[in-house]
Structure 1
Amino acid sequence: MKLNELLSSVEIIPPLKTQNIQVNGIAFNSKNIKEGYLFVAISGTHTDGHTYIEDALTNGAIAVVGEQELFLNEVPYFQVKDARKALAYLAKTFYKNPTNNKILIGITGTNGKTTTSYMLKHILESQGISCAVFGSISIIINNSYDIRSSDLP
């Protein structure tokens, strides 16, 4: 996806013309940056992603999005009000809104939620539809793993 198309989903301060650079991925952790990735610098509670911009550039970042007022010589830098929110919109745009292809079923009530969810899972999977169950008993995603709720932190 081209950078100008990707950045059209976020509000840049000040509005800048973007470049027609190919973006191969998005990451907010500099260790996950690969050649051609867009790095999103997020200010966290324990560390500030802006301090890892140089690491991201070393790993192959072709542009950076962040909240601070910066100028980078190596690659384009785009300032946004909220980097976390920008990351969500950038990922939604880059991955072509994958939630559009999902169906969500919520089950409420006093009794029978787990039984109903397992029955629905069985019915859907018997029809070749991949399924995930998130419940108080377990978390099951496409039968690839089953995490007991008691194992969660």
Structure 2
Amino acid sequence: MQFDVELADEAATVAWGERLGQGLDSPCLVFLDGELGAGKTTFSRGVLRAFGYQGAVKSPTYTLVEPYELAEQTLYHFDLYRLGDPEELEYMGIRDYLNGNAICLVEWSGRGAGILPSPDIRVNIVQQGLGRKLTLQAESERGKQLITKFKAL
């Protein structure tokens, strides 16, 4: 199951991230794919806003993970861009993050191939001129349910 939408600008990217966030519940694994600067972190900011987070959202490029302990939900924002080897995820305890009751957003998921499980939803963001194309792809039964819920919002 797939859902596509054209995004005019950064504000639309945040808004659609928030829209997806409104449909998410835990546990959930979301992969965020796209080239450098495509808007993965911008989209993540929208997801976090859906849970009431209003602070700055920066890409955790150097720390690999940024935890957000919110009133009703825990979210982990991963950026694997600088990951040297997928085995490093084992050393940082990735299974503890994924086996908990949290929503995990993972940028550059391909760098964790062989260690990361399949996501519930894969979000692909492609720059198109000044805008972006957003594609949501369900990769699990849970993902199909979430996209169905997302389309209804």
TM-score normalized by the length of structure 1? 0.26
Q: Which is higher, the Rg of structure 1 or of structure 2?
A: 1
Using CA pairs below 8 Å that are at least 6 residues apart, which structure has the higher relative contact order?
2
TM-score normalized by the length of structure 2? 0.26
- Give the strand-richer structure, 1 or 2: 2
